[in-house]
Amino acid sequence: MRYILLALLAVTMLPATTAVQAQKPTAETGLAEATDSPYRALQALDGQLAAIGYSLGTANAPLCDQRAAATGLQWHDIDQYTDRSAISGVFAFETPIEVAAVVPKSPADLAGIQVGDAFVALDDTPRVDIEALGSNAADDPYARIRRIGEKLASMSKDGSPVTMEFLRQGSTLVKDVTPLPTCATSYQIRIEDGLDAGADGRMVSVNLPLVQYALDNGEADQGSTLPADDGQLVAVVAHELAHNILRHRERLDAAGVDRGIGRLFGKSAGRIKATEEEADRLSVWLMLNAGYDPEDAVRFWTRFGKEHGLGIFSDSTHYRWKNRVRQLREEMAAAMAADRRNGVLVPPILRAPLPPLD
């Protein structure tokens, strides 16, 4: 199985608020072609991940008690890059915050915002205040992006347009964007070894090897590029988003679950395993609501289990892959027989207040 190798020395990932399709730079910009830079390659993958999150989040917003504003924009901040010389000629950064990608047919796309547009202001918030929202890379290089998201969420609760100001090759652009409600979760690729993903209540993280593994689908040959079908990556993201919707971190904390070595034993292991089953089952409903095929979840966990499962030595906090597949199929049958409420399939677990973890 072939993975794309990226030269990622001194690069941090591009965390997303939502987006896809990094545009190819034009000759006039003098910026590097997408194939010439590992930063562009990573930007495209991160945009693909964020677009999946946009689709899942907006389609399932009625199921989420915590919502945010989805514009279809993915930002990146110049402070994310520790080696500024490495991105010279790749990204313009006319201001410290730039559009990294745009989801097709999203509010931002319909407003005419493009990749590379540099963020200046949000409504009556002047640029200097936006820059002051965050600190520098030594502290939290994503603070400004996160605060912009929070500001958008607070300004767009009534569904009214939000005015955004940008620079595009020196020219000022003013755009009105009407955000859509989405589940309050952001998405990012982590640059680290192994095959892993996680959810912390407000962020879904998938590490780069797992993104590539899921996109590979087990079918790529030695000369191929990533296939267009991203269904198995959708299954991973839906599972992690389910953890956030179900408030698993809060519920595990309330149950006193040990997050150290003790998580592998006794009640802690059992409670964590219960959250994994809940997330698997909810992921089916999330995928169906967003128009995805939950069979891709079956395909992913079957392939992953066969290739990376540990048999009788499998982690006590997760079900073995055959049990996971069985549970997924049970939930698929239940979801397909369910009625829609306000346009979405509502799983039983979200029809009442979330119970404590026994």
Phi, psi of 160 (to 5 degrees): -85, 155
What pLDDT is recorded for position 316? 64
Structure tokens that stand for 317 in this block: 């906090």
- Give the pLDDT band of residue 225 (cuts 50, 70, 90): very low
- What average pLDDT score do residues 69-84 get? 89
CA distance 66 to 303: 33
For Cα atoms 337, 338, 343, give the angle at the middle one, nearest 5 degrees.
Answer: 135
Q: Going from the N-terminus, what domains does the chain have, and what CATH number goes with each?
A: 27-183 (2.30.42.10), 192-350 (no CATH)
- Percentage of residues in the chain having pLDDT higher than 90: 48
Mean pLDDT (the chain) is 81
Give residue 19's pLDDT band: very low, low, confident or very high (50, 70, 90).
very low
Residue-level pLDDT at 9: 27
Report CA dihedral (299, 312, 190, 132) to the nearest 10 degrees.
Answer: 110
Alpha-carbon gap, residue 190 to 42, rounded angstroms: 10
Q: Tell me the percentage of the chain whose pLDDT exceeds 70.
A: 77
Q: Model confidence over 255-290: pLDDT tens digits?
A: 887 776 756 676 778 888 889 999 999 999 999 999
pLDDT on residue 182:
94
> What's the token pair of residue 357?
């973890």
Predicted TM-score (pTM) of the model is 0.83
